[in-house]
Structure 1
Amino acid sequence: MALALLAVQDAHAANELILITNNPTTNSAVLDVMGYGNRLEIQQNFTSGPLGNSIQVQIHGDLNGGPAGSSFTGAALRPGLTPGSLVQNGFGNSMSFNVSGSNNLFAAAQYGNSNVITASIAGSGNQSSVVQNGYGNFAGFSQTGFGNTVSITQTSW
């Protein structure tokens, strides 16, 4: 298992990006993070199969993902995820988050194969948590403004 700790420095404060993968040649994570106080923990476990897992995250803003001391409230609590956690276990899973603004909490987990998450978050104080179990699930959402919450759990076998 490979472990990489990536720290991106800004003039104000640090961003914390943690990447844990069991197969860095098959799994991919592309991160573009600008701002300060942003935190992500990415875990990729490629089990077997024709395709690895991929994550793309673009963050422009401050205190997004799962900054220190953050926790979900309301409906975002239901899937049981931790803000800033992005997990893939299986093969052929794909997730993409495009975040602009500040204080947006998000997390996602894909357990199985060929699941897709596409998310766009713009504004401040938004929360999203998504869990996909099984094969071939698709979730796409957009949050714009202040204080929006989305919670998605998908299961297919």
Structure 2
Amino acid sequence: MERLAGWIATTAMALSALCFGGFLLMVIAQVGYRYLGISMVFSEDAARLFNIYALFLGLVMIVHAGGDVRIDLIDRYLAPEGAARRGLAVFYALVQVLLLAAICYGSYELMRSNWGWTLPAISFLHQGHIYMAPFIGSALSLLVLALRLPARLSGRARSAEGDMR
């Protein structure tokens, strides 16, 4: 399961890097073409889409690396091993699952309800494509979290800072 989670996270990170490259290219093109006096109408919508997809696909790698939201002050006062540390890990995982599930559900509903509207400058894309990014990112993050949860709760997985959990 750990290998599948790693493959999903690595693939999402590669796609995130490509999206960031597309975002950077669109912004540079906007500036360059404005300097030349030429208008690129679609570049603003494209840059926004690339930015949103880069952000939410990058979320998958953060979840895989164990970079969850937590209060590390509490971690410092707990013993490295023990019931309190495991209980805190369960609490962090529960909060993470609830937040990701809320993002997944909310973005799915927004995606579904906005699918009939096209983007103003890119007529072959729908408004729902904007909300597809948080849906895909949170759904993949939930999958990676579920695949890595047994290792994280047992203390075998490393977090982003490298400490044992």
TM-score (norm: length of structure 2): 0.23
- Higher gyration radius (CA): 2
TM-score in terms of structure 1 length: 0.23
Q: Which has the higher strand share?
A: 1
